[in-house]
Structure 1
């Protein structure tokens, strides 16, 4: 029996973020701490302007914190060069947005292949992996279609596959079902959670949908610049 301890995928330690606006300093995050584990779907909730997007950007290495540590799969990101941060972001982190942002001139398959080619994967291996991902979310028969030929739910499922194309350890999603009707939202949400479980990805999912949030493993609320873990009952 394997007794190797499971290591966290994401650790945030006393992360702060401030902006200067003219003569005034605006503090958005005042000391965020969090740990995410493999296969865990964590909801990130809070009112607009609370700092959810800022936190996702910092966690995704798209901007740096004013202070504190971001540790992804054992890598202390503050010690990395910009080139190392870029490589880590491409390999270890997947992104899914509210609006799919697929490249319109390419097919669903090509949209999932391209991130792999950027990382250096061979075209043959990238094509095979992309087809497997698309099949896993019920899109095997839609692989050659361009985004304009896909429904909203199919576009978003393709975007999820693109976010998982390089087998990231951490998936960051910003309102991934927010642009969909309730029925399609439910279908995409179930498939997203299923993929997270099967691939052992740690996922931080920002959402305003408290019903969906209540069905995730944990719910973290941005409150006065910090993260507070709240019970499911409190989200209702």
Structure 2
């Protein structure tokens, strides 16, 4: 147990300890992450900022258990992920981690409702319960009447809101988002961002959100900047000033 910044004692959702990641390119070794430390708490929206190529996507992949660090440790809800088998990592990823991407990546042949139902069925939830949760999530983001429309029949903002619902379908502890509003016009981006933050806080999810939009970053609870392979915490109000 640790003490959160707000003074309430509870366990962090995510802990990164000395995470490194390097790649071989011919005879060269390219070091992307040089010892990343971070702690994320329930209900926090944390911005991940930094220039393209700084390692943000690599960090999200490691945090989401899509790849392993070269060294260091990733703890998710108190579990040391390095000790898990590949099957256990897959089950943990499906149950406790949600993903939202810049391009919604909804399955085009399925309706918005079906796209939100599918991750729940994979986890083993009964179809009726999965459909009820999917409809509740979609309705909460103003998509109740659009639930049976396929992605091609939805606007860009509607598609991204459906993707957010899919990311939250299995009630994850951790939500990872990579430029979730980066493909939207400013008005739609503002609406989607507001709804996303409200869901994060209402559901007590710890969220790490990579973004180039510094205005949105300033409005999150915390800001972490990738700098020379490490994370530096910034005061939100100071970002981009």
TM-score (norm 1): 0.98
Cα deviation per residue 1:138-190 (whole Å; 9 max; x = unaligned)? 11111000001100000000000000000000000000000000000000000
Partner of 2:99: 95
3-state SS of paired residue (2:10): coil
**Aligned counterparts, 1:138-177, within 5 A:** 138-177=142-181
Q: Is contact 2:221–2:236 with CA below 8 Å preserved after alignment?
A: no
Task: Map 1:1-236 to 2 at 5 A.
Answer: 5-236=9-240
Q: Secondary structure at the match of 2:69?
A: coil
Q: Secondary structure at 1:168's aligned position in 2?
A: coil
Determine helix, strand or coil for the equivalent of 1:121.
coil
Distance in 2 of aligned mates of 1:187 and 1:196:
14
Q: Deviations over 1:59-98 (max 9, x none)?
A: 0000000000000011100000000000000000000000
Structure 1 alignment gaps of length 5 or more: none
Root mean square deviation of aligned Cα: 0.8
2:32 aligns to what SS in structure 1? Answer: strand
* Separation in structure 1 between the aligned mates of residue 75 and residue 210 of structure 2, nearest angstrom: 20
Tell me the SS of whatever aligns to 1:176: coil
Report deviation, 1:235. 1.3
Secondary structure of 1:78's aligned partner: helix
For residue 214 of structure 1, report the CA deviation from its aligned partner.
0.2
Structure 1 runs (4+) deviating above 3 angstroms are none
Q: TM-score, normalised by structure 2?
A: 0.96
- State the Cα distance separating 1:5 from its structure 2 match: 3.1
Quote the Cα distance in structure 2 between the aligned partners of 1:198 and 1:147.
Answer: 26
